[in-house]
Amino acid sequence: MSAISAPNTASTPSAGLEGVSPSFSQAPSWQVPAWLLGLVLGAALQLQQSALWLGTVYGWLLAAACAVGCFAWWAAGRGGSRWRAMAPPAARALALGAGVVAMFALCGLRAVGYVDQALAPALEGQDVRITAMVAAMPQTNEAGTRLRLDVEAAHLGGAPVRLPPRIDVAWYGGPFRDASGALDLQRQPPAIMAGDRWSLTVRLKAPHGLRNPHGFDYELWAWEQGVQATGYVRAGPKDEPAVRLASTWRHPVERARQSVRDAILERLARDVNGDDPAKARAAGVIAALVTGDQRAIDRADWDVFRATGVAHLMSISGLHITLFAWLAALVVRSLWRRSARLCLAVPAPTAAVVAGVALAAAYAVFSGWGVPAQRTVIMLATIALLQLGGRRWPWPHVWLLACAAVVVADPWALAQAGFWLSFVAVGVLFATNTVANSAYESSAGRHFYALFREQWVVTLALTPLSLLLFGQVSLVGFAANLLAIPWVTLVVTPLALGGVLWAPLWSLAELSLQPLAALLQWLAQWPWAVVFVPAAPLWAGVSAVAGGTLLAARLPWRLRLLALPLLWPALWWQPARPAPGQFELLAADIGQGNAVLVRTASHTLLYDAGPRFSRESDAGHRVLVPLLRALGEKVDTLVLSHRDADHTGGAAAVLAQQPQAQAIGSIEAEHALQALRPIAPCVAGQRWDWDGVAFEVLHPQAGDTAQATKPNTVSCVLRITAAGPRAPIALLAGDIEAAQEQALLARGAALKADVLLVPHHGSKTSSSSAFLDAVQPRTALVQAGYRNRFGHPAADVLQRYRARGIDVVESAQCGAATWSSAQPGQVACERDAAARYWQHRVPPRAE
Q: What are the per-10-residue average pLDDT scores of the chain (847 residues)? A: 35 37 48 89 96 96 91 64 56 87 97 96 95 94 89 95 97 61 60 95 96 95 94 88 92 93 87 59 88 86 90 75 83 92 91 92 85 80 85 83 90 89 80 48 57 76 86 90 87 91 93 93 92 91 88 83 90 92 98 97 97 89 96 97 96 95 94 94 96 97 84 96 92 96 95 97 96 97 94 95 96 97 95 93 78
User: Residue 215: what pLDDT?
Assistant: 93
User: Residue 187: what pLDDT?
Assistant: 63
Residue 137: Cβ-neighbour burial (10 angstroms; 0-12, 13-18, 19+): buried
User: Residue 596: what pLDDT?
Assistant: 98
- Find the helix or strand (DSSP H, E) in which 530 lies: strand 530-532
For residue 88, give the nearest of 33, 26, 25, 24 by alpha carbon. Answer: 33
User: Residue 184: what pLDDT?
Assistant: 52
* CA–CA dist 139, 681 (Å, integer): 41
**Dihedral (CA of 305, 307, 308, 309) sign:** positive
**Dihedral (CA of 145, 146, 151, 157) sign:** positive
> Residue 515 in 3-state DSSP?
helix
For residue 473, give the nearest of 560, 419, 535 by alpha carbon. Answer: 535
* CA–CA dist 694, 722 (Å, integer): 7
Q: Give residues with Cβ within 8 angstroms of 433, minimum separation 6.
A: 6, 7, 8, 22
Residue 425: Cβ-neighbour burial (10 angstroms; 0-12, 13-18, 19+): buried
Asked if 798 and 180 touch (Cβ cutoff 8 Å), the reply is no
477: left (phi over 0), alpha (psi -120 to 50) or beta: alpha
Q: Give Cα separations from 823 to 598, 686, 720, 725, 818 (angstroms).
A: 15, 27, 15, 15, 11
> Residue 752 in 3-state DSSP?
coil
User: Residue 27: what pLDDT?
Assistant: 46
Cα atoms in the Cβ-side hemisphere of radius 13 Å centred on 809: 26
Residue 611: Cβ-neighbour burial (10 angstroms; 0-12, 13-18, 19+): buried
> Which residues are registered as beta bridge partners of 128?
202
**Dihedral (CA of 618, 619, 625, 627) sign:** positive
- Find the helix or strand (DSSP H, E) in which 659 lies: none
Q: Rounded to 5 degrees, what angle do the CA atoms 521, 527, 533 make?
A: 105
DSSP class of 604 = E
Q: Where are the beta strands (DSSP E) in 187-275?
A: 196-205, 230-233, 243-247
* Dihedral Cα 758, 760, 761, 766, nearest 10 deg: -70
Q: At what angle do helices 88-115 and 395-409 cross, to 10 degrees?
A: 20
Instruction: Kindly give the pairing relationship between strand 604-607 and strand 637-640.
Output: parallel
> Residue 685 in 3-state DSSP?
coil
Question: With helix as H, strand as E and coil as C, how does 627-651 read?
Answer: HHHHHCCCCCEEEECCCCHHHHCCH
Neighbour-count burial for 274-290, b at 16+ CB within 10 Å, e otherwise: eeeeebebbbbbbbbbb
743: left (phi over 0), alpha (psi -120 to 50) or beta: alpha
